[in-house]
Structure 1
C-alpha cells in the first residue's frame, strides 16, 4: 500500500491521523516501510496493524512514544516482554485490529446512563463531578474514556468518605500541570503543520508522564512513612 491507502485503512478508527503523523512515527523509528527503487514508501498489512496498535495506545492509554517504541523494539528482537505500563499485555507479533482494541480498552462514547451503569457512580455523584469540573460531556451529551476513569476513581474515593468537593485540588493541580506543559511546548507549537503538532503532542505526553511519575513518587514516599 502507499501512504494514501494506509490512511484509508486507518482513518475510520483514527480520523485525525495524517500522512505527516505517519512520517513522524517513521522518523521516530516505530515503523519502517519498504521503499521502491524510486524511493516511494510501500506499506504492508503488518505495517498497518503496527500503526493501528501505536495509535490506539497513544489515544486510549496516553503512553509516550518512547515507551511504545521500547516495547516494540523488544518484540522485534524476538523477546517476549510481559506488559506495558498499566499492566497492558499482548502476544508478541500479533497486533491485529481486534487485539489492538482489546489492549487499548477503547470504548465508544457513553451516554450518561451507560456511564452511570459501567462506573457504578450514582446520579448525584456524577452531578457533583460535573459541577466541580471532573468530568464533562461532549457536544452530543456523551462521555469519553477519561470521564469513565474519573467516575470510577470517584466511586472508590467516595467509599472512603472523600466526596467530589474534596477532590477540587486534583482539578487545580491538573490545570497547573497543563499550564506547565503549554509553557514547555510553546516554542514548538508556533508551527502549524501536522508533523509539528505531532511533536508537540508527543512532548506533552512525555512531560505529563514525568509529572505523574513525580507526583506518584512524592505521595508514595509520604504514604510509606505511615508504615514506619
Structure 2
C-alpha cells in the first residue's frame, strides 16, 4: 500500500505541499492535526508523502485526499488506525471493502463535513425547536452556534424515537454511561498520557479510539443479545 521513501523521492514542485501547507489546508476541519501527528500517520503507513532530495516531505493532492479520509474516519466513526489501514489496503488492491458498521465511501468521494445553524439543523432533521431543546437539556446534543453531521444524525434518531414514545428525557442515562466509559479509557491511558512528548500524545489518542471501538463492540453485542431474548 505505502510507497517507500526511496521510491517517492521527487523534486519539489507547485503541485506538492509542504507540511505547513498541509496543516493550513486541513486545520480548519481538523484543528488537532499537528506536524507530529502527520509524521505519526506516516509511521503507521496511512500516507506516504514524497521526499525532495533534501529529505523534506511533500504531499500530493492524492495524499491530501487520503489524509482527509483517515482523519474523518477517526473523528466521525472512532475507527482505529489499523482498521482504516486495512480498508485502504483493500482499496489500493482494487477491491471494494466495507468498514465495521457498513459501507463507507472511498476517499475520492469523501467531502468535508457539513455544518448547520440551529434552524438548519432542525429543518434537516425534520424536528422542532422543542425537541432540540430537550436533547440539549438531556446532554444528548451539546449546545452550539454551529452543529455538525453527528448532531444531525442524533436529532434524526430522536425524531424517530419520539414516534415510538421515547423522549430525550428517557435517555439521560446515555450521557452518564458515556462519561463512565470515558473514565475507563482515561484510566487505561494513564501510563501513556503521563508522557508529555508529541509522539506519546498521538499514540494515546489512537489507543483511546481503539478502546472506544472495542467498548462499542461489547455494547452492540449486549443489545443484540437482549433483542434475541425479546424475540424468543
TM-score (norm 1): 0.84
- The yes-or-no answer on 1:161 pairing with 2:165 is yes
Q: Which residue of 1 aligns with 2:111?
A: 101
1:4 aligns with 2:20: yes
* Counterpart residue number, 1:65: 81
Please list every run of at least 4 consecutive aligned residues from structure 1 whose deviation after the TM superposition is greater than 4 angstroms.
none
How far apart in 2 are the matches of 1:12 and 1:160? 39
Pair 143,90 (structure 1): closer, same or farther in 2 beyond 3 Å: closer
Aligned length: 216
Shift of 1:160: 1.1
Matches within 5 A, 1:199-214: 199-214=203-218
Residue number in structure 2 paired with 1:87: 102
Which residues of 2 match residues 112-127 of structure 1 at below 5 A? 112-127=118-133
Verify: 1:21 aligned to 2:28, yes or no.
no
- For 1:166 and 1:15, the matched residues in 2 are separated by 34
Mapped to 2, the partners of 1:171 and 1:69 lie a distance apart of 31
TM-score by length of 2: 0.83
Matched ranges for 1:182-201 at <5 A? 182-201=186-205
Q: In structure 2, how many angstroms separate the alpha carbons of the residues matched to 1:17 and 1:70? A: 22
Corresponding position of 1:135: 141
1 CA distance for matches of 2:129 and 2:22?
Answer: 43
- CA change 1:24–1:161 in 2 (3 A) is same
- Which 5+ residue runs of structure 2 have no aligned equivalent? 1-16
Q: Tell me the SS of whatever aligns to 2:94.
A: coil
C-alpha distance in structure 2 between counterparts of 1:42 and 1:71, whole Å: 24
17-26 vs 110-119, greater mean Cα deviation: 110-119
Contact 2:87/2:97 (<8 A) preserved:
no
